[in-house]
Amino acid sequence: MCHDFEMFSLIRKKRRIYLDTAAATPLRKEVRAAMLPYLETEFGNPSAIHAEGIAARSAVESSRQKVATTLGIRPEGVLFTSGGTESNNLAILGRLKYLARKEGIAYSDMEVITTRIEHPSIMSLVPVIEATGVTVRFVEVDGEGKITVAALEKVLSPKTVLVTFAYANSEVGVVQNVSRLVRTVRQFEKTHTHGRRIVIHIDAAQAPLWLPCSLTPLGVDMMSLDVGKCNGPKGVGMLVLRGNVPLLPILYGGGQEQGLRPGTENVANIVGAATALTLAQADYQERAVSVSKLRDSFIDLLTEALPEVLLNGPQGEERLANNINISLPKLDTEYAVVYLDAQGIAASTKSACAGAGGGESTVVSTMTGNSERAKSTIRLSLSTDTTLADAKYVVEILLRFKAKMNELTR
Question: Which residues does the annotation mark as catalytic?
Answer: 353
Contact 61, 259 (CB under 8 A): no
SS (H, E, C) 318-338: HECCCEEEEECCCCCHHHHHH
Nearest Cα neighbor of 30 from 265, 280, 237 is 280
Q: What separation in angstroms does the CA of 1 have from each of 22, 304, 404? A: 30, 9, 18
**Alpha helices, H only, 283-326:** 284-305
Contact 401, 343 (CB under 8 A): no
User: Which neighbouring-strand residues pair with 238?
Assistant: 80, 225
CB atoms under 10 Å from CB of 6, counted, come to: 12
Asked whether the beta carbons of 233 and 63 are under 8 A apart, the reply is no
**Quick check: 344 and 13 in contact, CB under 8 A?**
yes
Helix (H) or strand (E) holding 239, with range, is strand 237-241
**How far apart (Å, rounded) are the C-alpha atoms in residues 340 and 330?**
17
Instruction: Give which of 345, 356, 349 is closest to 397, Cα–Cα.
Output: 345
- The CA-atom distances, in angstroms, between 259 and each of 45, 221, 237, 379 are 17, 19, 17, 39
Q: Where are the beta strands (DSSP E) in 56-173?
A: 78-81, 111-114, 135-138, 160-166
For residue 164, the cross-strand partners are: 201
Distant-in-sequence, close-in-space partners of 76: CB < 8 Å, separation ≥ 6: 258
DSSP for 120-151 reads HHHHTTHHHHHHTT-EEEEPPB-TTSPBPHHH
